[in-house]
Structure 1
Amino acid sequence: MEKTKLEIPPFSSYQKYIIALLALLQFTVILDFMVLSPLGDILMKNLDMTTANFGFTVSAYAFSAGISGLLAAGFADKFDRKKLLVFFYTGFIIGTVCCALATNYALLLSARIVTGLFGGVIGSVSLAIVTDLFVIHQRGRVMGFIQMAFASSQILGIPVGLYFANHWGWHSAFLMIAGLGILILVTIVIKMKPVTEHLKLQSDKNPFLHLWHTLSNKNYQVGFAAIAFLSIGGFMLQPFGSSFLVNNIHISQLELPMVFFFTGLSVLFIMPLVGKLSDKVSKFRLFTAGSLLSIIMILIYTNLGPIPLWELVVLNMILFMGIMSRMIPSTTLNTGIPDMKDRGAYMSITSSMQQIAGGIAAVCAGFIVHQETKTSPLENYDILGYVISAVTLCSIFFMWRVNQLVKSKGKAVDAGVKAEIETESV
């Protein structure tokens, strides 16, 4: 008997709208985080901050976002996901406005904590919405488009942040993000439909029991571990990237925006391609290939000496090709682990693990890397590369475990997809 090929329906016009809306929303959240880096020198001078103060300002967002994700996890599946998104995005916008109004270090630190408390939950709610509205065979493409927000923030974050800061003061960069956020929030309220299918499957467990149930699920713990190792590898390299380029590679401050711009531009083209590929080939094999490419490029990158700008840009493009080839399939695979009734809690905890692991990674990187003076080359950056490579190998193992769990649910998922297709064709 001939096996019928499973046909996936194209995106509906409403699904395309949701993809665009979530991508724009993620853009503002990521840009809020990214724009802090190029403003570092201006903030330290204007608010009389030390480098340690600025480090706390950056990590405060990550840790508060991680804590809020855990606190929200028990409630994440108890409400309409649209209402949750509106609530936390409103808080995020208020926190961003508070950042713009800060006049000293203490106020800015407090504002970053508030922004993290709300912003840290938005990503998990968005992922839960994607998981509810798109079948797993579509999610790779969806993740590819939504995570283009990362590339767009790379392209726009540094140039736009510096442009606004140089012309109207550093406060204006945060006001610009808040203004864009208000427009997106109004669109969500008016145009987005409620997302409530998961409420039909809810039990009477109180939120804290629901959180404990999700945390104690052994299958879910595998996914949490995989995401934590992914985040550790990524956040270890990020904090000292600009300093390494300036002090070790001898890239000037004026050339830095070009590095980020062209790297982000390449990622903008890479991510949709990886997303499509993720829906057509084995997600785990794609993840493994991306991980191995990342390890090779990280070992080369962290051992670099002074090189021409164009060579650095090419190496950065290849490095991010490997990184993006890990992010999309791993995120897509991870959405296949939780049951619908637990998706909101699972995504919230996953987001928390991501943020907390990232904060810990940044602290650990600070202990590994040393710098004698503010202008001397970074020391032990090569050792940081070896540590990241080892962590990346561990992430391959955990993602293999995730892949096995998702495959075990594969038959049920395919049956559900066929049922959806048959329902739509009736």
Structure 2
Amino acid sequence: MEPTAKAAPFTLHQKIIIAILALLQFTVILDFIIISPLGDILMKNLNMSTANFGYAVSAYAFSAGTSGLLAAGFADKFDRKKLLIFFYTGFIIGTVLCALSTSYWMLLSARIFTGLFGGVIGSVSLAIVTDLFLIQQRGRVMGFIQMAFATSQILGIPLGLYFTNLWGWHSAFLMIAVLGVLILIAIVTKMQPVNKHLELQLDKSPFLHLWHTLSNKQYQIGFAAIALLSVGGFMLQPFGSAYLVNNIGMTHEQLPLIFFFTGISVLIIMPLVGKLSDRVSKFWLFAAGSLISIVMILIYTNINPIPLWQVVAINMVMFMGIMSRMIPATTLNTGIPEMKDRGAYMAITSSLQQIAGGIAAVCAGYIVHQSTKTSPLENYNILGYVIAAVTLCSVFLIRRVAQLVKSKVAEPVLVTE
């Protein structure tokens, strides 16, 4: 592995941005992944089949992907702070609608609405990171921001399940909405405008800007690579709680403990991977994480009923492998677009990632079968084989992305004091 240049320190404003974006990502990620641990409860309470639940998960992804594509042409035409405020406000409203749902169709509609806004937030956040941080800093930044996943596992999901046991599953979404309002206030009051990219725009038409970004052959490699990364998670996680309860014999009271320790493992690995990502070959770091995740996913999807501590141990190692892939892959991806295209590029990347994940969730809903509400899930091991094959393919695409980034000439970035 080849060492990189010494990492630059963060300014005060950059630290504030990292904190805001990490908290924001916490709510967005929690809003999406909370539906997985609630899956068994939702399928029983709202009388959903595995196929219906697959659609409930994918509804968010498909609407998020669609809105991301529609917003891509405009992503570089406005102050990124204003875009973030607009879409995050819509996301909060959608989350409240999820909490108010009383049927499968109401929940499905609310998830679509939430996805229309939530799907753009990630791309806007990535564009802000790319504008304000040097390439030598982005690994650490992504490490901190993606720690939101671990925090959602450690705090968000256990609290959500605890509130669910006390007041019903609706309360989990209300918790996210209340926290979202507080974060929105912080964005409005603490974040400075992010608008220097407006000086570099050449395309007058947003749709022409979108087309120029989509048709760039180098960009297309990045689009394909990042889209493929989401397939595994969208296939494995939606039925995770149902698999643990109905196949492995875990109880609903044990689920928070499993998610808690899984989050602890991710919380440990993410900062380490973030630092390594700024010092060693990002591709080889990604390849190592991919190998670990393939082995553990194949083990996880083929186990019989085992004690709780063994389930926890397998989950911890598996997610350490899965999440250690995300930082180097995402960091490499930010090095592909030109500054004038970053907003559109990140929006398209996020959209294709969501759409690919939505397709994967629907496919998973049809691959997995459950005869009754309490019977074991069938064909879950087939998901493991499919995910392993997709993960292997992603290694080759990320290798190509790494080659493109290495060949690019260093670009100026907009670092604020």
Matches within 5 A, 1:204-223: 204-223=203-222
Query: Structure 1 length as normaliser, TM-score?
Result: 0.92
- Aligned pairs for 1:229-244 (under 5 A) are 229-244=228-243
- 8 Å contact 2:5–2:279 — kept in the other structure? no
CA change 1:43–1:310 in 2 (3 A) is closer
Could you say which residue in structure 1 is the equivalent of 2:292? 293
- Alpha-carbon separation, structure 2, partners of 1:13 and 1:380: 51
Per the normalisation by structure 2, the TM-score is: 0.93
1:412 to 387, 410, 413: 410
**Alignment correspondent of 2:260:** 261
Superposed, 1:24-35 pairs within 5 Å as: 24-35=23-34
For residue 97 of structure 1, what is the aligned residue in structure 2? 96
- 1:198 aligns to what? 197
Q: Which residue of 1 aligns with 2:65?
A: 66
Two-structure CA RMSD over aligned residues (Å): 2.1
Match of 2:388 in 1: 389
Rounded Cα–Cα distance in structure 1 between residues aligned with 2:45 and 2:189: 40
Match of 1:304 in 2: 303
Where do 1:18-417 residues align within 5 Å? 18-43=17-42, 52-409=51-408, 411-413=409-411, 416=412
Q: State how far apart, in whole Å, the 2-side matches of 1:78 and 1:239 are.
A: 36
**Divergent runs of 4+, >6 A:** none
Worse-superposed segment, 374-383 or 210-219: 374-383
Percent identity between the two aligned chains: 79
Quote the offset at 1:50 in angstroms.
Answer: 5.3
Question: Shift of the alpha carbon at 1:48?
Answer: 5.6
Shift of 1:405: 0.5
Q: Is the 8 A contact 2:21 2:145 kept in 1?
A: yes
Could you tell me whether the CA contact under 8 Å between 1:143 and 1:275 is conserved in 2? yes
Gap runs ≥5 in structure 1: none
C-alpha separation between the residues in 2 aligned to 1:174 and 1:377?
A: 28
Whether the aligned pair in 1 keeps the contact of 2:63 and 2:119 (CA below 8 Å) is: yes
- Structure 2, unpaired ranges of 5+: none
Deviations 1:311-364, CA, capped at 9 Å, x for gaps: 221121111111122110000000000001110011011111111111111122
- Larger RCO of the pair (alpha carbons < 8 Å, separation 6+): 2
- Shift of residue 144, structure 1, vs aligned partner: 0.6
Alignment: residue pair count: 414
Q: How much does 1:49 deviate?
A: 5.1
**One-letter amino acid of the counterpart of residue 168, structure 1:** W
Instruction: Tell me which amino acid in the other structure corresponds to 2:286.
Output: F
Distance 1:63 1:198, change over 3 A: same
Q: Are the counterparts in 2 of residues 34 and 157 from structure 1 also a CA contact under 8 Å?
A: no
Q: Write the distance in 2 (CA, Å) between the matches of 1:332 and 1:97.
A: 32
In the alignment, the residues of structure 1 paired with residue 5 and residue 125 of structure 2 have an alpha-carbon distance, to the nearest angstrom, of 27
